[in-house]
Structure 1
Amino acid sequence: MEVWLVALFTLLLSASIHFLTRKKSSLPPGPLAVPFLGNLLWLRYSLSDLEPLLRGLHRKHGPVVTLRIGSRPTIFVSDRGVAHRVLVEHGAAFSDRPAPLSATRFISSNQHIISSGAYGPLWRLLRRNLMSEILHSSRVKLYSHGRDWVLGVLTGHLYSQSRSSEDGSVVAKDSFQFAMFCLLVLMCFGEKLDEKAIREIEAAQRSLLLYTRKLNVLRFLPAVTKHVYRCRWRTALDMRKRQTEICLPLIEARREHRRRRQQQDTEEEEERFVYSYLDSLLDIKLPEEGGRGLTEDEMVSLCSEFLTAGTDTTSTALQWIMAELVRNKDVQDKLFGEIDSTTSKGGGAVKEEELHKMPYLKAVVLEGLRRHPPAHFVLPHAVTEEVEIEGYVIPKDATINFMVAEMGWDEKVWEEPMEFKPERFLSGGSAEGVDITGSRAIKMMPFGVGRRICPGLGLAMLHLEYFVANLVREFEWREVEGQEVDLSEKPEFTTVMKYPLRARLVPRRIC
């Protein structure tokens, strides 16, 4: 007992000396925090309550606030002007990522991926490879046949579901998600796998993705929680092992394909395989690490990142846009009129080369991303040097994040921001010429802004325009009688519809 009393007295004395001798805090304001534990409000709230909690704090303290999620301060910015100063004007100091918890490093192969990679040579190499080998416009065109194939898969699922229901209704969420995943699997592994194989990859991917949210508890006193919640960590390790077991045969298949091509370029091989993201990874050498190639574990992590980034965000945005088209029949009718007058007659899919002729289609997609950004926060940024912003000193090693949805709903920029009005983005509209990259000024930032802006911005816009156009040309999307579309939100990996879209589909042409 005496030992415990001495230890407790020493701890209290140390804390007192720390508070009495430290410099006056110049961090942005925030709620009461306790050393090592963070804010006491986490006793009443969870991280799933973060967004409404932050709205209240911003109303009280202003556009920049500090929370302590664990031991390090995290700065949250809701003002678009401040965000531009941070991400563009001081971009170099705010382009790093926080180091992952020791217990979760296996998910990213110790930050050997793009999204959470440290800002430096490795990150630049991996991002440059992705941009030049897969996301360059010339490469994206090579997958047009894949988009046609996936469109057939998607419309087939929707027709089947509609015909099997008494009122012709569908719940589109799973169909959207599976279609996007099929397309990303093709781009990632270079092969049109059968539905069973794709479902197997999807199940392994999604189970680990959603389960990692349970590891957030390790942010609080990790030396203790990693033992208290060791079962969660072991479960996540088992899920990662399953993911690896599924991906390794696909990696070996690409290696074998390359060997065969070197020996004999057969027509059969070319019909089965297309150039893929995985092919580009097999060629990478890491000069900062002795010129070695990527390990299989690192390739699994990069492929997992590619599938996640391209699937969930796009399928979530697609569902939100189609939900708004169901709610706003006049918008859907106007969009169909543009599609019908622009595309070739006689049926068939809307061709990719026809999309640029449809300004209203692009306006619908942009308005969907403004009103319902799939991610309400960007991935957190780490501060590499002390910087003064808005009269506050943001310390080195702090974490900073940005409230994406709040910026897209700013009443100072957007008239009736919670309404769905694509006309904003047309000639003469208040949002005409809005730069979604935020390089000049931030008015909306669904893909982030600055040096860590999403590299898949162009691909995402193409996919959304292509699938929205074809879904509207193929079907009239109507509300189910007696069931209004509910726009309530729910945080998952992205911010999804709490009640997935249910709509009645009426084919526009005789099949």
Structure 2
Amino acid sequence: METSWILLAGALLLSLLVLRRRHAKNRRLPPGPLAVPLFGNLLWLRNSAADVEPLLLKLFNRYGPVVTLRMGTRLAIFVADRRLAHAALVGAGAVTMANRPQAATSSLLGVSDNIITRADYGPVWRLLRRNLVAETLHPSRVRQFAPARAWVRGVLMDKLRAGSGAGDDEPGDVMEAFRYTMFCLLVLMCFGERLDEPAVRAIEDAERTWLLYISHQMSVFFFFPSVTRHVFRGRLQTARALRRRQAELFVPLINARREYKRQAMAGQAPARETTFQHSYVDTLLDITLPAELGHRALTDDEIVALCSEFLTAGTDTTSTGLQWIMAELVKNPAVQDRLHAEIKATCGDDAEAVSEEAVHGMPYLKAVILEGLRKHPPGHFVLPHKAAEDMDVGGYLIPKGATVNFMVAEMGRDEQEWERPMEFVPERFLEGGDGVGVDMTGTKGIRMMPFGVGRRICAGLSIAMLHLEFFVANMVREFEWREAPGHEVEFGEKSEFTTVMKKPLRPRLVPRRS
């Protein structure tokens, strides 16, 4: 009798598996253009995978809000609809979309995936993210770096004054000033040392060159990597050289923190003005990886990769956000006037600068930042996700292992969700506006998602908002931002690592105070 029950249960289980497999076969992938085995879509013969957004916008118009592309043997699905994005990232469960596809170049370059943005959901990712959030991005830690932000504010104002376009001088490209000063701040937070300009410039150059090369020159390895690794071996050699350059710059700074920690343990830490008591590297030196990775400390290569990730996440995105927001304030002087009036009413005329405490009491400032992120998210895509299991999105099959990406800019500019979406209207985030109560985490629903949504949401959301609010408020208090003749603001976009202004912002800056 017992054997009969076991056979019956086995038969039922087999039937269920067969039915499930048939059901999966009956579901279909989202639509997309013609593809051939191994190579993928034929459209790659005339389109670049490194700049896929213009192509996707055409495909969404043709096929609808979910589109399938094949890049070599990789299946990539792109979602432009906010409701479908919420269903996939939140409604399907916390971990269904929490994994990352392996980067095509990771194995080719021997680059570790033991970083927060690349690691699969699991013990390593949880350890690294928990360390970042608790030991560096926690509000108490963020407050420790207030003197660093005050120093960088002064550096930024000096750079802006030097390129202000006063008199007969041509106005400078403010994006260059934004990038440099954000590197000053993030390098200090990362390595615990306030470096001089040549040292910061060297790190900035190494990071920017690496990012742009990886973003624009390595997409060929999506296709037939066993072949393209030989055909384009020069690109791999260049990428390895760029990675070595990062290590040459970072390892001495990492070793300096090792020595600092050793001296601090012995009560002999140097009391230099340029040295901070805490840094991100300090926390990485204290990490022990879980047992499945040998219960060991991080290697120098892994620390270099994590430092590069930290610098990238906090510099390019923030400086790009600043560029777009200040361009909108130049183009919309009434908005700038209202913002300046709020700053003046909050801080008065005597304060040396807008403090971090003051920005928390400025609702119109926050509305300006939110509107900038809605209309001009620095990243038009979130980092790609990987489906942990077969799932249904909008009636389509998303198969296990597929790469899934979400169109951030399309959701923030959805005319069915936002009134006049292509106009810059910060008032929409004030009482009575269509953006009141927007949930940046997307838990209840997605209306805009500049920091992503779900388990892999950007860990730096709060500090990014602080940096944007702090620096925008101080720049508007210090200068009136005007359009310069011959350098009119244009909102054309260009894809670099982030989506920047195609025509750089070159405003005329008029000091508001003597």
Verify same fold: TM over 0.5.
Answer: yes
Q: Which amino acid aligns with 1:42?
A: W
Query: What CA deviation, in whole Å up to 9, does each residue of 1:96-154 have, x standing for no partner?
Result: 000222x4347684211000111111001000000000011111011110001001111
Partner of 2:3: none
CA distance in 2, matches of 1:223, 1:108: 15
The CA deviation string for residues 59-84 of structure 1, in whole angstroms up to 9 with x for no partner, is 22111110001212111100000000
**Cα pair distance change 1:147/1:323, threshold 3 Å:** same
Q: Find 2:492's aligned residue among 475, 488, 491.
A: 488
Paired position in structure 1 for 2:97: 94
Q: Deviations over 1:155-207 (max 9, x none)?
A: 10111122676256232010000011100001000110111111111111111
Distance 1:243 1:463 in 2: 25
Letter in 2 for 1:261: A
Does the CA contact (< 8 Å) of 1:105 and 1:111 recur in 2?
no
Q: After the TM superposition, which residues 364-383 of structure 1 pair with which residues of structure 2 at under 5 Å, given as runs?
A: 364-383=368-387
Counterpart residue type for residue 41 of structure 1: L
Partner SS for 2:339:
helix
Paired with 1:429 and 1:73, the residues of 2 have a C-alpha distance of 40
**Bigger shift: residues 226-235 or 85-94:** 85-94
Using structure 2 for the length normalisation, give the TM-score: 0.92
Q: How does 1:142-291 map to 2 (within 5 A)?
A: 142-162=144-164, 166-167=168-169, 169-213=171-215, 214-266=217-269, 268-269=271-272, 272-288=275-291, 289-291=293-295
- Bigger drift between 110-119 and 313-322 goes to 110-119
CA distance in 2, matches of 1:106, 1:297: 16
> Following superposition, which runs of at least 4 residues in structure 1 exceed 6 angstroms of deviation?
none
Whether the 8 Å contact between 2:195 and 2:274 is mirrored in structure 1 is: no
**Partner amino acid, structure 1, of 2:362:** M
Percent pairwise identity:
58
Q: Which has the higher helix share?
A: 1
Find out whether 1:311 has 2:311 as its counterpart.
no
Q: Is the 8 A contact 1:107 1:240 kept in 2?
A: no
SS in 2 for 1:452: coil
Distance change in 2, residues 1:274/1:313 (3 Å)? same
Residue 223 of structure 1 and its aligned partner are, at CA, apart by: 1.0
- Letter aligned with residue 29 of structure 2: L
Aligned residue identity for 1:411: E
Q: Decide whether the 8 Å contact of 2:112 with 2:305 is kept in 1.
A: no
Q: Name the aligned partner's letter for residue 492 of structure 2.
A: S
Q: Structure 1 residues 374 and 248, CA, compared in 2 at 3 Å: closer, same or farther?
A: same
State how far apart, in whole Å, the 2-side matches of 1:170 and 1:271 are.
Answer: 29
Shift of 1:51: 1.4
What is the alpha-carbon distance in structure 2 between the residues aligned to residue 267 and residue 436 of structure 1?
A: 42
| Cα deviation digits, residues 293-334 of structure 1 (max 9, x gap) | 000000000000000010000000000000000000000000
1:229 offset after TM fit, Å? 0.2
- Which of 463, 468, 471 is the equivalent residue of 1:467? 471
Aligned positions, number: 488
Rounded to whole Å, the distance in 1 between the matches of 2:362 and 2:226 is 56
Cα distance between partner residues in 1 of 2:383 and 2:120: 13
* Residue 356 of structure 1, CA deviation: 1.2
